Chains A and B, each alone.
Chain A
Amino acid sequence: MGELFESIIEIVRRTSSEIPKDVGQGIIDALEAEKKGTIAESALKIIERNIELAQEKSQPLCQDTGSVLFYVDCPIGYDQISFEETARRAVTEATNRGYLRQNSVDSLTGKNDGTNVGPGAPAIHFHQHQADHVEVRMILKGGGCENVGAQYSLPNTQLKANRDLEGCRKVILDAVVQAQGKGCGPGILGICIGGDRATGYEHSKIQFLRKLDDQNENPELAELEENILTTANKLGIGPMGFGGNTTLLGVKICAANRVPASFFVSISYMCWAFRRHGAELERGGKIKEWLY
């Protein structure tokens, strides 16, 4: 079926079954931070064992293999239509091979045809770049964590949140408290300050392409990320909401311009089973190197 087809299946397989190194390290650190003999510690031990097992068996880390999101950086003139056709076939084949659950439901009829392909599924975001190679990144985002995402419009009277970074901090921390353990914590937040409702959420998810240990180039946002992470981990929500020291593993924030009348803060929550991988492809579509 061609090299691109096989490469995409391999990217799906790896994304579904192997946690990226930076996230794996976060889990190890979290385990050290929890008190011995607590249910928080035992939850993290099960999580650690699960990460090992999934990789050994090439089976999904989490049974909710989520929304299938592609982020494709491609050269000018790249044939996006044929990429999309190949990607759709590859997603169905990856489902047949058990790397993805039959997870895509017709919203009107409730039917699940088992292909994981339909209107809007998978979601493919193309971006042209000046380089002459193709990079394919993938995120599989489960429904549990997607459901605890939140979008706030500032000012927010109830939370006393004004249109400034302090207001952003208040609504982000509120989202953490509202989520409790329902998003399968310890979680990672992707946040966009500004934008419209749609682009705000879109940019918040793009933050998940960043490695957990990277540094935000904007010093104000870097400080806010650190502040949210430290504060959230003082709230005692803990792994799975069982109570404990690790509520979040990371916080990634970007800003987008807004219109004067709107000030949205869009927060996406990623579960500990953070499925993100990517690869640079050779000209023929073969995987050249992994990106995470």
Chain B
Amino acid sequence: MTNLTTPLTEEQVRSLKVGDPASISGVIFTGRDAVHKYLYEGGELPEGVCLEGGVIYHCGPVVVKDDKGVWRVTAAGPTTSIREEPYQADIMKKFGVRGVIGKGGMGAKTLDGCNENGNVYLHAIGGAAQVLAEHIVKVRNVYFLEEFGSPEAIWELEVDQFPAVVTMDSHGQSLHDKVAADSQAALEDNL
């Protein structure tokens, strides 16, 4: 298990290989469809958000305000990452993002970007909303809540040993490409 603490350095990211279990501590920012489209189309990051060396989490959490008016994440698994494929590599490059956490993997453009810019794709367990919420220790802030709605907002989260697996590394390797090719070949054997 590799322990990563944000902000991440290029060296740290380059040392990660496909199949490595990793745990992330520090601060991460959620961002999904609306945020990616907005940033890709030239939108500015809201004041207070710095993604340099940062990690974007593809996630639309369930967040409730408790009796004292404090935000609390009650469910927070990853959403499908491939929808951000048109935008991801450019956004990582533009804002200095080092890593993305999501599920299902991403495509060739993102993989090339990871290779070129020293980024990594970390796969969290889809649907494991409760286990993952337990690793979110605090909601630091929320941005674009009104504009994009709760699931699509940018939530700034403090995390402790958030579990994930490297499935796309900065050396051109993708577990998803390998499993897809192997399973297609296995299917042909079984038809």
Contact = CB atoms under 8 A, between A and B. Distances in A.
B183 A235 contact: yes
Contacts of A63: 59-62, 75-77, 129, 133, 151
Given A42-B21, A103-B151, A241 B179 contact: yes
Given A63-B62, A235-B187, A236-B186, A184 B103 contact: yes
B62 A60 contact: yes
Interface size class of B (residues with CB under 8 A): 35 or more
B60 A242 contact: no
Contact of B130 (A59, A143, A238, A272): A59
Nearest to B134: A53
Contacts of A234: 186, 190
Interface residues of A, number: 51
Contacts of B149: 102, 105, 111-112, 114
A50 to B, nearest CB: 4
Contacts of A143: 79-80
A70 B56 CA distance: 35
Interface string A36-61: 00010011001101100110010111
Given A39-B19, A101-B151, A272-B127, A235 B190 contact: yes
B74 A46 contact: no
Interface string B23-63: 00000000000100000000000000000000000011110
Nearest to A39: B165
A259 B61 CA distance: 44
Interface string A237-281: 110111100000000000000000000000000011100000000
Interface in B154-191: 163, 165, 167, 175-176, 178-180, 182-184, 186-187, 190-191
A180 interface: yes
B150 A43 contact: no
A110 B37 CA distance: 13
Interface string B76-88: 1101101000000
B44 to A, nearest CB: 19
B123 interface: yes
A181 interface: yes
Interface of A: 39, 42-43, 46-47, 49-50, 53-54, 57, 59-65, 98, 101-103, 105, 110-112, 114, 142-144, 147, 170, 173-174, 177, 180-182, 184, 231, 234-238, 240-243, 271-273
The 9 closest A-B pairs by CB, nearest first: A112-B149, A184-B126, A182-B104, A53-B130, A63-B75, A273-B127, A50-B128, A63-B129, A62-B127
